[in-house]
Amino acid sequence: MSHPKPPVPAKLIIGMITRDKELALPVADRLADAFGDIDMISPWFAFDDTNYYEPEMGTGLSRRMLAFKHLVDQDGLGGIKINTNAIENEFLNADKRRVNIDPGLLTHERFVLATGKNFTHRIYIGSHVYADLTLIYQQGRFQPLPWTYPDYRRENMQDYLIRVRRKYSTDLKTAKA
């Protein structure tokens, strides 16, 4: 029989997709207001594996990832997604998004994104939000799954997430001390 116990806290990572890189600073400021200090920022990654967002946001999209200093409870992912959706809405232009904000939680074992869209591999976590198991950590690296978005499969994204995972390990040790 298993005995439920609280999970370890997770590292909050938020990705933003935009064509207007000048939005990065005000969006990051709003995210920091909501979730605390940012401690790791990725370089800009090309977001060109899909044209899903182009009708709303245009072409020439890029993604930047932000990792947050303070660890969060894993059961807070749904509320975080609701909050990031509200921040997206603060930057609308003519009822169209100028930035897409995707929150996720990184632990030693996995990286999970929050989404409002249901699909076969997504688990409903409340507040109209689903958890998408995006990557699993095995054999010294994050492994993609059949449904993992193409940009999360790329080596540059993987390198960033490995650096965040190392920082997360340090953060956990500091939190326990």
**Above 80 in pLDDT, residue 176?**
no
pLDDT at 175: 83
| Residues sharing a CB contact under 8 Å with residue 59, sequence separation 6 or more, in sequence order | 19, 51
| Per-residue pLDDT tens over the stretch 123-154 | 999 999 999 999 999 999 999 999 999 999 99
Amino acid at 5: K
Question: Are 58 and 19 a contacting pair, CB within 8 Å?
Answer: yes
Cα separation, 87 vs 99, whole angstroms = 9
User: CA 19 → CA 28, 40, 60, 100, 123, distances in Å?
Assistant: 15, 21, 6, 10, 30
Provide the pLDDT confidence category of residue 177 given band limits of 50, 70 and 90.
low
| Per-residue pLDDT tens over the stretch 75-97 | 999 999 999 999 999 999 999 99
Which domains does the chain carry? 11-172 (3.30.70.260)
